[in-house]
Structure formats: C-alpha cells, structure tokens
Structure 1
Amino acid sequence: MTLNPRTLRRALLLGCAAALLASNASAQSGAPEYDIVIRGGRVLDGAGNPWVSADVGIKDGRVAKVGTIAARGKREIDAKGRYVAPGFIDMMDQSGEVLLENGTAENKLRQGVTTVIAGEGGTPVEASKIPAYFKQLESQGIGVNFGTYYATHQARMQIMGDKAGAPTPAQMAAMEKEVGIAMRAGVFGITSALIYPPSSFQTTEDLIKLAKVASQCNGFYATHMREESSKLIPAIEEAIAIGEKGGVKVEIFHLKNAYAPQWGKGMPKAVALVDSARARGVDIAADMYPYPAGGTGVEITVPNWVWADGVEKGMERLKDPAVRAKLKQQVAAGSMADWSNLVEASGGWDKVVLANGQNPKYEKFHGKNFVEIGKALGIDPEDAAWNIVVEAYPKRSMALYFMMSEQDIETALRQSWVSIGSDAGASAAPGKIDTLGLPHPRSYGTFPRVIAEYVKRRPILSLEQAVRKMTGWPAQRMGLSDRGLIRQGMRADVVVFDYDKLDDVAGWTNPTDFPTGIDTVIVNGAVALDQGKLGNVKAGAVLRHACS
C-alpha cells in the first residue's frame, strides 16, 4: 500500500507526538536514563570556551549528554550557581609509590584532581616489573587515574650503580634495552632529573640515545633540567637538542627562573626560546606549580662531586672537616659546570628554610632558615645544613628554597603551552605530608590556587584559561583523547566547585590544610568526593601509553 504525502505527513506527526509523550511520561515517572545528572551548572568544557548553562548527563562512566536534560539520573546533583569542569590533571605527580600503600589520594581529589602523571624519579620497580606494578595498582584500587614515566637513571643504576662515569657501549645497549621494556609496558616516556646524582652524571649524548628508544613508541622526554638558575637558557637548549636529535616530545618539568639575580629577565628569555623551538616544529611544552619556593633535599646544597663514588662515600665525605672547608668555598663561589647551586639561586642561606629534618633533634627548627639555625647552634649555616643531612641519612632531610619571583610565575602562567604540575605526591593519610616528606603547600593547594590566586585575587588568567591549563590542554598534550573535556563520549572525570568559596588555604605555616569550595569530584563516572565527604570509592584507572 502506498500512502499519499498528506497521509504520510500526518502519520509522522502522530509518531513524533507519541514518542514525545512516552519520553515525558518516562521523565515524569522518574525512570532513570542516566547514572548521574548534574543540573543547572555553569559548564566549562576544558577547551577554553566560555561557560554555558547546561545539564551534564553521565552514563556508563562517560559523558552522555551536555544540554537540557529532561530525563532523570539515578543520582541527581544540583550545581546551580556553581561551575562544572573536567577533572584536573596533575602533570607532575609524585604518587607512584604511595598509591601502593594507600590508593585513596585524598589530597589530590580534594583539589579536584582526577588524573596524575608521575615518574620524575621513575617507577617504584624496574622495567621488567612494570606490568605487575600496574596490575597491583588496579587490583588494590586507586582514587585517581594514574600514568607514569620511566627514569633514565633507573636504567643507569641497574646497569652501572650510583657512581659517576661514562657507560661502555655494552652498558649503553643494556640501558637502551631497559627503556624499550618500560616503553612497551605502557609508560609515557623517559625522564631525567639532572640536578640530582646519579642522573646528573648522564651526558646529553647518553640521553639522546635513550630518547631514540622512547621515540619508537612516540614517547616523551620529560626533564627536571640540568639548571633552572644561572644556566637556565643552556639547560633549555639541551632539552630541545635531546628532543630534536632523539625524535621525542619534550616536557619541561616545573618551569621556573630560579635565580634571584635574574628575576624578571630569565623567564622572558626562556619563553622566547621555547616559542622559537615550537615555531620550527619541536614538540616542546612545560608544566609548573604556582609558588615562589621550590622544595627538595638539603643534600643538593653540596656539589655533585661529593656523590661521585655513591651516596655512602658522599656521606663520609660530608663528615670530613677538610672537605667541608672546601665545600664552603665552592658554595660561596656559585654554580659549577655540573652543579646547580640552589643556595646562590635563592639569594643566600637565609632564603633556604628547613622543612623536615627527619630527626626529632631538629624539629624545633622546622620553618627556620639556615642562618637562624646556625646562630642557634653556634655554627655556620653550612655546617648546620650538612649535619642535618648526615644525621638524617638514610632518610632525606628536606628544605624550601625561595628562588622564584611572582613576576616570573605570572609570565610563565600566561603561556598557552604551560600546564600545571604539583611536583607533589598523594599523602598516605589525611592532613599528613606527602610521600616525599616535604611539607610544601603545593601538596594540598596547587590546583585551587591557580584559580584562587591567579584568576580571583589578581587577573592574570581568565577562568576559562585556567581551567584549560588543568584539563583540556594537558589531556591533549599527553594523548589522553577521551579525557580533559566535558563533551559527549568523553570519560566522566568531573569537578564541581563554588567559585566564590574556592580557596587554596594551604600555606607555608599550614601546608596540609585542605582547600575550600570543591565539594563534588567524579572519577570515571563514580562520585569520589560527595558534598565534601570522601567515600570509599577507588574508580581510578591505570593509563598506559600505547606503543604501536
């Protein structure tokens, strides 16, 4: 039978009306079509676009719809007056080991972080054991999505130990093999931490050879550069050279101009150098944390030659009065070709603050600079620092180095290719310092601080720009094609926050205070932080970089 056009049009209209009535009946009956519906929020898509007023429907761990949603969800979240954004991505995390102990990652989740990329210091296991390590994380459960790099010094130590020296061809071939095993296991690339022995003993050529292995899997070379102070520009040039000659993408960890004599001058030069490299096709970018002080071990205050025969021998050298006399002269003279002098970079011992002496004897000096500590003990600040290093061993005493200026932080933040990385790990328990043993506010406040300080308190970034730096851009950078945006089909990693109440809270005297204004965090479609309360939800996934 053939319907005439008029009859066909009427049938179609009746069919549409019936479908609409059925849909309305379903919505009114409360039959849920979604697992979660976030209603009436100001949705920031993560790509830098202006916010839109919309509902967000989540089903089976993914964003199913963004817009006006009539149907109900099994769980309804009222976001009226608040912002809805993709979960934040920590581009320089230090949680690789602590997640085995406690996978909750509460200090990350309360910042709105749903994904972390770790591995500046490598993986907690050797290359051949990475698959088992990933499986253990998955079986135990983790609160955030987790990806990692493999460190070049891991391969070096396995083959050569922790002493200085050039590798033989056979040793280099063995290191290349380890990198290949790690890449095929799913790491995102290789890292170097070139101010720390034994990583500092690696040459540019060594790193290029290892980068070429990572390039076979389209991997990264991510680096804590050899210098971030007086030789910042040559250090960036080295990173660029490794990227170009090794055929890898380059990520500069915690970009900074950590050198008081060059504040306001070094960062513009660094930005221009990266821009120039990108203009000619080098895939290079950077991450940073928004604080004027870095944090690392007190042992970095002595030149690398002290550790050339390994850590044990280095500790013995530090006890020798004759060696100390030489070291004091070298510290006063400034950086060396193979050592970045962070005391000089900070502007003196009075800008270096003991954060964790790892010894009850020195707890009363936490928060004091080494000039103050030296005076209290009746010794030079150098002796105070090195006594603490020796007496803490095998633990690592930690310090805060006030090396950066707010002007340079602002300059770096404005760059579209800069993302955010905390350089901090998850804490093993609420309100405790992170796994590094470093009480730095970046462990609890990095991500809310980007908005609270650099959007709200001073207009360095727009809200949309800030959110992009923490979501869409890092996801794109790392090749996480189904994360970082609130769009249909994407993984449902979501943070809901109250802009007016958002504050990082954590500071130098209260570094483990939780932020305010973030009340709901969703990881892979599961509510991990629910109206400010942390549930026993470990919905994170291990992220493996594909090696094709």
Structure 2
Amino acid sequence: MKLKLCAALGAVSIVTTPAAGWQATGDYDIVIRGGRVLDGAGNPWVSADVAVKDGRIAKIGKVLGRGKREVDARGRYVTPGWIDMMDQSGSVLRKNGLAENKLRTGVTTLIAGEGGTPVPAEEIAAYFKELETTGIAVNFGSYYSPTQARSAVMGDADGRPTPSQMVDMQTKVKIAMNAGTLGLATALIYPPGTFQTTQELIDITKVAAPCNAVYATHMRDESAGLLEGIKEAIAIGEGAGVKVEIFHLKASYAPKYGQLMPGAVKLVNDARARGVDIAADMYMYPFSGTGLEVTAPTWVYAKGFDEAVKLLKDPAQRTRMKADIKKGPMPGWTNMVYSVGGWNNVILANPHNPKFAKYRFKSIADIAKAEGVADPADLAWDIMLAALPKRAMAIYMSMDERDIETALKQPWVSIGSDAGAAEVYGEIDGLGLPHPRAYGNAARTIAEYVKRRNVLTLEDAVRKMTSWPAHRMGLTDRGVLREGLRADITIFDYDKLDDRAWLDKPTTSPVGIDDVIVNGQLVLADGKVTGARPGMVLKGGCAAPGAQLR
C-alpha cells in the first residue's frame, strides 16, 4: 500500500506564515499598554506595547495608534498564550466550548487525545467541523489512538491481530490523520491498551510517520518499571519513525522515590543525543488521579470488561487479586496500590454513588474501617462496581517533590494538566475527577515552582508553556510574541498570581490572571469571561490539501 504525499509536511495545516515586511495599518483591535513583554522564547522581559489586529500581532514596541479595546498592562507580564500539552477536553467541548476553567489559568491552546478522539476515525472530520461551527474559546488539537483503532477492529479482549486486522487498524489511522489529528496516543496502563505489544504499536504508528506525527504515551509503567516504559516508548518512536512525547512524566514508586527519575532523565537525554526526537510533559502536583479499575491486575481484563466485572464480583477471584497486590511489581501491570504504599494513599475522589459520596477525599483504608469492611480492596472494588457504567475515580498519592523538581528542570519538559474543561464552571472537569490540576495546573507552574520553590526562572517557566510546546507540535504561527503571528496572549500579575486549587478545594481558579486573548479576541477581560469563541481546531500535516495518506 503506497503513501502519496505532498513534498513537505513540516507544519500544521492551519499555519499561514506572514510575508516579509508584513504589517498592519491603521488603528488596532486591541492595544496592550506598557506591559513587561516576555516573548516566550526564554528571553528577559522588555517594556513594550503590543498591538493586535485581524487576529494577529500587528506591532510590538511603542504603539502610537489606538485600539478599539485598550488593556492597561503596567506592572503585569504579557506572554504568549499558555499551551496545555496534555488536555482531556475532547468530549466536553462539544457540550460547552467556553472552557472557562482553562481560560482562568491562562491556557489558550489544548492538546488532547490520550484516549483518542471521542468519535470513531470515520467521524473525526465531522467532529472537528462541529467544534468549529458551534465555536470554542480555546484552540484545540487532538491525537487519535492505536488502541481506539484496535478496539474498533478487535474488541477489548487480549490477543494478537491478524494481518488483515492490522491492515484495518492502519486504515483507520490513515483516516484519522487525514482528518487532521496530530499523531497517535496510547494509554498502555489501561486495558485494552495493555494488551498491545511493542511491535503492534510500531506497525500501527509507522503509518502516521509521513504526517510529522507525534507518538504520545501514558507509558505501560510509571512506577517500578518506569525505565522499561521509557525504553519501550523510545523503541516505538525509533521503529515507527515518529516523534515521542511521554505524557505526565513521573516516578510513581514509593520504595524508590528520588532514585528512578535521574535514570529516566538520562534515558531521554541519551536518546536525544543519538537523534531520537523525544520529550515529555508534566503536571504540577505530587498526586495522580485515575479510576479505581487500575487497582485490579491486568489479567482480570484479558477477556474484556464485561468478563472482568464478573471476576470482580467473584470472592474466589478477589482472593487471587488481593494476593497479586501484595506481591508488588508484576510484569505487564502497574500495581498502583503497592506502588503508592498501600490503601491509605488511595483517596476516593468521585464514587458516582450517593452511598459513598460522604467519603470523598477519604482514603480507601479509612472508608473500609468506617464501613466495617475487613479488606480495603473489597471496598474499592465494591465502589467501582456500584459506579458502573460510570468510572469511580480516585487520587493516588504517588509522587515525591524531589522527582518532580528533577524532571521539571529538564529543558525538554513542557506542561500538561491531564485534565479537561468543566462543562459547568466551578464543578468538576469532563473526566469526572475532582483533581486540582483541572483548575490550577498552569498557574501553579509559576506560583509554586518559580515564586515559592525557585526551581525555574520565570522566563523558562513561560517557555515551557509557550514556545517549546508550540515548536514541539509544529504550531509555527503561535507560541511566541512576534509581529505577524497569531495573537494568543496571556497577561498576569506576577505578585498576585497564586494557584488556589487543592484536594480540599479542587475547583478553585487561580488569582492574578485577568486578561487572556485567543486569535486576537479577548476571551477573559478584567477577570470576566467575554463569551467570545475565536478558538481554532489545530490540524496535523496530513490534513493539508494534497497531503493525504493513501
């Protein structure tokens, strides 16, 4: 099967590079006055005005003309709009495109799709058109998932694809890439992704290589097997000929806090030294969040989720599951309970059941005691089953600040929340997980790791949320403040900036960010959401005319 491509696919299809000498004439749509302008490339700030016209940055410097809207930025920083490199808003934007919790933390661009798109490959083009038609306040791009393709072709049970099934999966990838997805993403900790082998993923992913695609991954193991997980990600990237992005880089293994992350950093640096285009993103909290289903061993899901439910109801099978938890690390399964140090460090976040709602933000161990359940595992699985068809969510106290700081200092690390927009502002995000990262992640990067801990400089923190992720994703028309580029701009007061969301108040927005511009329009003005929806769908290289995979 041959691939027919245009000559060059280095940038996303929406990019329009301004001609040499391009400039706007006349007065402007917006003029930002007297701010400390950080260009996003890591340079120190300069005092300047920024003029915006027709969705682009028209002038940086002394602006003599007037704006239809004037923003006084004296004493505040003016930066490119912040990019969330690991977003979860693919579904919720169809219900509410305002993404207010994202705007209030300074974010203007979302890169989503850890689990793929919310629609099948054949419907992605229509899905993107729907977002553009109904309107979104932020820019949005998404990955497709090889696991999504596998499930459509093979179902959710274990097993190896036949040659014809592999062709069918590759065909779905081509359809998704032609529709404009940015690459392929896996979440190999979750069945049925767990059942995909390294070679299977290489064979599926290599189809997307001509599209300047990224292979992004929630690795197979982020705990005891962290280094093996990174090695596999590198092998997939090298084997398929694509860039590699490690989602939410972390070392979630309590017995070796402070020991695994230096080795992880070395693996990435060594791979980059030999020419592998690999990088990572992180969220800024020492605890993760996901469903309670991951506390059961992988073998439980080998025959599909419906069969897994039967096993989880069987006392004899539960005895075997509990024994596996006590064994510690096992091949092919991230033993989350063991890795975080026991059920005391697994916190119920959202049971989706009124019986257990009173226990939110209590540990599974404490809830088991309160309910008179001898083994916390039984309590966890009872909560999981009672929530179906919804997904009971938990917080896992899984990280150490030493490892967070080690990773964050790496120049190739960007910032991603692993959280979605909220359908209703002030409530939990589209994942159904009340984790503070949905409301505070980007702001916390500066408030915690620049202001309070002095881990990063302000210039580098901004770079990690602007020019670096834009460069990484091929978004050549945004990510820095340059005349002629798209006007995505975040304005904040450094002294006032503070992330306020935490476990006890996860849906609290930060302070200090009052003005945000997307594609030349104010979407947050004087601390109020304007209702404007100027966001664009950001599409990958194979969506460009004449660039389609065949």
Alignment TM-score, normalising by the size of structure 1:
0.94
- Indicate the SS of the match to 2:85: strand
Amino acid at match of 2:135: G
Q: Output the CA distance in 1 between the equivalents of 2:206 and 2:532.
A: 40
Q: Output the CA distance in 2 between the equivalents of 1:36 and 1:287.
A: 32
Contact 1:32–1:73, Cα closer than 8 Å, also in 2: no
> Gaps spanning 5+ residues in structure 1: where?
1-30
In the other structure, the counterpart of 1:21 is none
Q: Give 1 or 2 for the bigger CA radius of gyration.
A: 1
In the other structure, the counterpart of 1:518 is 513
In the other structure, the counterpart of 1:540 is 535
Q: Output the CA distance in 1 between the equivalents of 2:87 and 2:531.
A: 22
Q: 1:285-304 counterparts in 2 under 5 A?
A: 285-304=279-298
In the other structure, the counterpart of 2:18 is none
In the other structure, the counterpart of 1:171 is 165
The alpha-carbon deviation at position 32 of structure 1 amounts to: 6.0
In the other structure, the counterpart of 2:347 is 353
Match of 2:90 among 86, 93, 96: 96
In the other structure, the counterpart of 2:504 is 509
Matched, 1:279 2:279: no
Contact 1:32–1:74, Cα closer than 8 Å, also in 2: no
Match of 1:440 among 415, 435, 445: 435
Match of 2:426 among 431, 436, 458: 431
Amino acid at match of 2:484: G
How many residues align? The count is 518
The alpha-carbon deviation at position 335 of structure 1 amounts to: 2.4
Matched, 1:80 2:78: no
Match of 2:379 among 379, 384, 389: 384
Contact 1:62–1:524, Cα closer than 8 Å, also in 2: yes
Q: Output the CA distance in 2 between the equivalents of 1:499 and 1:518.
A: 9
Match of 2:326 among 305, 329, 332: 332
> Gaps spanning 5+ residues in structure 2: where?
1-24
Larger RCO of the pair (alpha carbons < 8 Å, separation 6+)? 2
CA-to-aligned-CA distance 1:65-115 (integer Å, 9 cap, x gap): 111111111111110000000110000000000000011100000011000
| Aligned structure 1 segments of 4 or more residues deviating by more than 4 angstroms | none
Match of 1:258 among 246, 252, 269: 252
The alpha-carbon deviation at position 122 of structure 1 amounts to: 0.4
Amino acid at match of 2:339: A
Q: Output the CA distance in 1 between the equivalents of 2:235 and 2:184.
A: 15
In the other structure, the counterpart of 1:481 is 476
CA-to-aligned-CA distance 1:462-505 (integer Å, 9 cap, x gap): 00000000001000000000110111111000011010110110
Q: Output the CA distance in 2 between the equivalents of 1:365 and 1:512.
A: 18
Amino acid at match of 2:460: Q
The alpha-carbon deviation at position 210 of structure 1 amounts to: 1.1
Amino acid at match of 2:467: G
In the other structure, the counterpart of 1:449 is 444
CA-to-aligned-CA distance 1:163-184 (integer Å, 9 cap, x gap): 1111111111110111111111
In the other structure, the counterpart of 2:461 is 466
Match of 1:234 among 228, 235, 259: 228
- Indicate the SS of the match to 2:165: helix
The alpha-carbon deviation at position 216 of structure 1 amounts to: 2.1
Q: Output the CA distance in 2 between the equivalents of 1:353 and 1:278.
A: 37
Matched, 1:157 2:160: no
Amino acid at match of 2:229: A
In the other structure, the counterpart of 2:309 is 315
- Indicate the SS of the match to 1:57: strand
Q: Output the CA distance in 2 between the equivalents of 1:57 and 1:493.
A: 12
Alignment TM-score, normalising by the size of structure 2:
0.93
Q: Output the CA distance in 1 between the equivalents of 2:145 and 2:206.
A: 14
Amino acid at match of 2:516: V
Q: Output the CA distance in 2 between the equivalents of 1:517 and 1:455.
A: 15
Contact 1:195–1:224, Cα closer than 8 Å, also in 2: yes
Contact 1:371–1:381, Cα closer than 8 Å, also in 2: yes
CA-to-aligned-CA distance 1:139-167 (integer Å, 9 cap, x gap): 00001000000011110011001111111
Match of 1:413 among 405, 408, 417: 408
Match of 1:404 among 399, 403, 413: 399
Contact 2:84–2:417, Cα closer than 8 Å, also in 1: yes
Contact 1:37–1:56, Cα closer than 8 Å, also in 2: yes
In the other structure, the counterpart of 1:530 is 525
Q: Report the RMSD for the aligned CA atoms in angstroms.
A: 0.8
Q: Output the CA distance in 1 between the equivalents of 2:323 and 2:472.
A: 44
